[in-house]
């Protein structure tokens, strides 16, 4: 008889088939097979009757619609097998799937429980060695992880199914929904928008001066003898020029000042490699570098994991297995030489308080499998032992694999070394007491180190900052040397409001504040867009009128539940359940009691919210009454103000004040079926010109 191995996806099943012999039969559940019912709460809440009002929660799990045949097939296979091996993913979700599979397959009869031999195996990469080790050390299902997953599911159910009807009642829209974490995420975006709207820019000035070495001090009068320096101090105080008058006074003095080198500071600067990817850092980097959504990144990483190319992609840990460290160090030594190899392996400390060190960072399973682009960069003499990544899997899979591969390679390489020179120059005008101190900094790479294979996106962004003077060659000067004035460049600037969130910056903020967990970021961000609470415009999140109203209502009446720190504490509580230091029923009970009391009160006392989206000058084409702005789950539209007597409606056309470059018609704002905004010609379909960004309309 064979052993039945059960996994979630057909791709994972196919990959396991490559490594496991004929004594194993591998089947996929096609995802979850049992869950709470789709259209009702599915939780029976019973009050215990004790003094502190604790509750019991009985969960009504049901086979998911369309999965009954699959469950029947698995039951039959299990009865024909000598054992059932549950090989679902190594996280809480995977543990819960394994639990539900076992519950369904063993049935309710005690005799069947004894007949069926269940075991749970866990592996973080799909390789021959990892599977061999997992099968040789099976374990029972970890009920602490299952309880943590159930607790999250129940929490989200209680908030969604108890608060959503309240929103329907008070905001008058039956398609609204409330989410425990998603509401807090929308709150962050709403609060950022209000910061931007309340922001008042303040004027300030920067002054750069172009200087040159004196002719008798330099043989080459090329640009190497020149340098651009910035005003940093006036009379020993930081230069803080608030307006044009102050700037012009400094400019007049600097034009006629004598310049002399005050100080030269030369030092060696080391730039250390970033740690290997975890889920959140991978999502942020893919967003910054490729413009990908978190959802797309996780979908692509899932493919790489299930094909056996990378380790498990849902992880908080930067831990690296010893054999993987040996593998990457051998590669560094062979391809780059001992100068690039640290004396001892680099160990990265995991920031997350709850990351399990048994888990690993995201890394390739085979360092000698490289992307075509990385292969082409190598000298031909070093390619013989390498294998090129399968291009048939698609460009996106290759891009993400290369990103993960290079990050992992770089994390075990020596630091990059730069020579950094900072020059301070004193400017002083004859017969004036004013002293001006100017500064410039230049860096020159001395040793590439890890930058030879991987350049951090954050480093690139910092070096592109127009207000920094990094990464430039400076002429050789000496202390007390006099310099010649060439020109001056005063720049009027204004302080800028905080930037709207991108996917990368939102994920970074969620991680910093402890809201959600990396595995939940992608579905949360997708949900708040699907619900029309926020919209992404040119890769930045803007709250919709609906999102603002929902957040304001929920925060007003449930300030504790949707408080950022409270949400973070709930995540800590869920982690404690997973660690076995808390019982899930008591955590949920402590949450539900105050929620129930507050909910009953708000239903009775809160006024209905009328969303005032404004009126227009347009008249109804049917009855001539004024048209007003209304909102549906598909967005804003125009409706007759006499509704329901007159039911005329009309789409809102938002122009952008730019003419179509092909036909001269007005460009208007449009949306794709998935809700993504773009700019299209109003003369469509006669003219099909479209652009994602305003600056691309040319």
Rounded Cα distance between 226 and 489, Å, is 15
Helices (H), 116-243: 128-136, 143-171, 180-198
Q: Are strands 387-388 and 369-370 parallel, antiparallel or unpaired?
A: parallel
Active site includes 436?
Answer: no
Rounded Cα distance between 57 and 459, Å, is 50
Tokens 């006392």 belong to which residue? 605
Beta carbons of 601 and 166 less than 8 angstroms apart? no
Helix, strand, coil shares, percent, the chain, to 5: 40, 25, 35
Closest CA to 75 of 14, 118, 19: 118
Beta carbons of 96 and 17 less than 8 angstroms apart? no
Question: Which residue out of 309, 312, 501, 557 is catalytically annotated?
Answer: 312
Beta carbons of 34 and 64 less than 8 angstroms apart? yes
Q: Are strands 43-47 and 83-86 parallel, antiparallel or unpaired?
A: unpaired
DSSP label at residue 353: S
**Strand-pair partners of 421:** 266, 442
Instruction: Provide the terminal-to-terminal Cα distance of the chain, rounded to the nearest Å.
Output: 69
> 455: which residues sit within 8 A by CB, 6+ positions away?
none
> 31: which residues sit within 8 A by CB, 6+ positions away?
8, 9, 97
Rounded Cα distance between 412 and 344, Å, is 9
Beta carbons of 620 and 640 less than 8 angstroms apart? yes
Query: Active-site residues: which are they?
Result: 312
């Amino acid at each position: 008889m064979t052993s039945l191995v059960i996994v979630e996806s057909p791709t994972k099943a196919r990959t396991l088939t490559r490594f496991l012999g004929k004594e194993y039969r591998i089947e996929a559940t096609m995802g979850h097979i049992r869950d709470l019912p789709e259209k009702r709460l599915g939780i029976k809440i019973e009050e215990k009757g004790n003094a502190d009002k604790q509750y019991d929660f009985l969960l009504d799990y049901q086979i998911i619609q369309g999965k009954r045949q699959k469950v029947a097939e698995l039951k039959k296979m299990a009865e024909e097998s000598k054992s059932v091996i549950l090989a679902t993913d190594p996280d809480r979700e995977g543990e819960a799937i394994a639990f539900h599979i076992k519950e369904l397959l063993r049935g309710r009869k005690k005799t069947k429980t004894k007949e069926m031999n269940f075991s749970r195996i866990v592996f973080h990469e799909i390789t021959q060695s990892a599977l061999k080790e997992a099968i040789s050390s099976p374990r029972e299902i970890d009920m602490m992880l299952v309880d943590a997953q159930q607790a999250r599911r129940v929490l989200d159910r209680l908030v969604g199914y108890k608060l959503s009807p309240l929103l329907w009642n008070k905001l008058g829209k039956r398609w609204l929904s409330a989410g425990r974490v998603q509401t807090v995420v929308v709150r962050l975006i709403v609060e950022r928008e209000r910061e931007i709207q309340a922001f008042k820019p303040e004027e300030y000035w920067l002054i750069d001066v172009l200087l040159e070495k004196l002719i008798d001090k330099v043989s080459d009068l090329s640009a190497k003898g020149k340098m651009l320096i910035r005003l940093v101090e006036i009379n020993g105080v930081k230069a803080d020029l608030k307006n044009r008058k102050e700037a012009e006074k400094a400019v007049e003095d600097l034009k006629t000042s004598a310049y002399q080198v005050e100080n030269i500071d030369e030092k060696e600067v080391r730039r250390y490699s970033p740690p290997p990817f975890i889920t959140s850092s991978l999502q942020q980097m893919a967003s910054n570098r490729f413009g990908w959504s978190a959802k797309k990144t996780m979908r692509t990483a899932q493919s790489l994991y299930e094909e056996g190319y990378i380790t498990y992609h849902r992880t908080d840990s930067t831990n690296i297995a010893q054999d993987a460290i040996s593998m990457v160090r051998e590669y560094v030594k062979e391809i780059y030489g001992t100068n690039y190899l640290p004396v001892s392996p680099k160990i990265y400390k995991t920031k997350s308080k709850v990351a399990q060190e048994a888990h690993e960072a995201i890394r390739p399973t085979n360092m000698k499998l490289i992307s075509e682009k990385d292969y082409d960069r190598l000298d031909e003499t070093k390619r013989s032992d390498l294998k090129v990544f399968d291009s048939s899997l698609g460009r996106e899979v290759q891009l993400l694999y290369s990103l993960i591969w290079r990050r992992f390679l770089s994390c075990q390489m020596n630091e990059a070394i730069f020579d950094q020179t900072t020059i301070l120059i004193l400017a002083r005008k004859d017969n004036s007491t004013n002293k001006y101190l100017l500064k410039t900094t230049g860096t020159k790479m001395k040793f590439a180190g890890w930058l030879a294979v991987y350049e951090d996106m954050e480093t690139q962004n910092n070096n592109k900052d127009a207000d920094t003077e990094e990464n430039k060659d400076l002429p050789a000067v000496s202390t007390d040397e006099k310099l010649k004035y060439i020109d001056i460049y005063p720049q009027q600037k204004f302080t800028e409001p905080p930037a709207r969130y991108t996917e990368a910056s939102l994920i970074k903020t969620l991680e910093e504040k402890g809201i959600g967990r990396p595995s939940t970021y992608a579905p949360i961000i997708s949900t708040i867009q699907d619900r029309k609470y926020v919209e992404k415009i040119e890769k930045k999140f803007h709250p919709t009128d609906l999102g603002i109203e929902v957040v304001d209502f929920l925060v007003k009446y449930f300030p504790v539940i949707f408080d950022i720190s409270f949400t973070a504490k709930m995540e800590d509580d869920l982690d404690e359940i997973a660690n076995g230091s808390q019982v899930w029923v008591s955590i949920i009970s402590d949450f539900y009691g105050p929620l129930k009391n507050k909910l009953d009160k708000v239903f009775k006392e809160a006024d209905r919210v009328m969303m005032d989206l404004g009126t227009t000058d347009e008249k109804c084409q049917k009855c001539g009454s004024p048209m007003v702005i209304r909102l549906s789950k598909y967005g804003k539209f125009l409706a007759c103000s006499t509704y329901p007597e007159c039911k005329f409606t009309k789409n809102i056309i938002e122009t952008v004040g730019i003419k179509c470059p092909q036909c001269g018609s007005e460009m208007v704002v449009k949306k794709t079926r998935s809700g993504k905004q773009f700019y299209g010609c109003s003369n469509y379909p006669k003219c099909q010109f479209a652009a994602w960004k305003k600056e691309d309309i040319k």
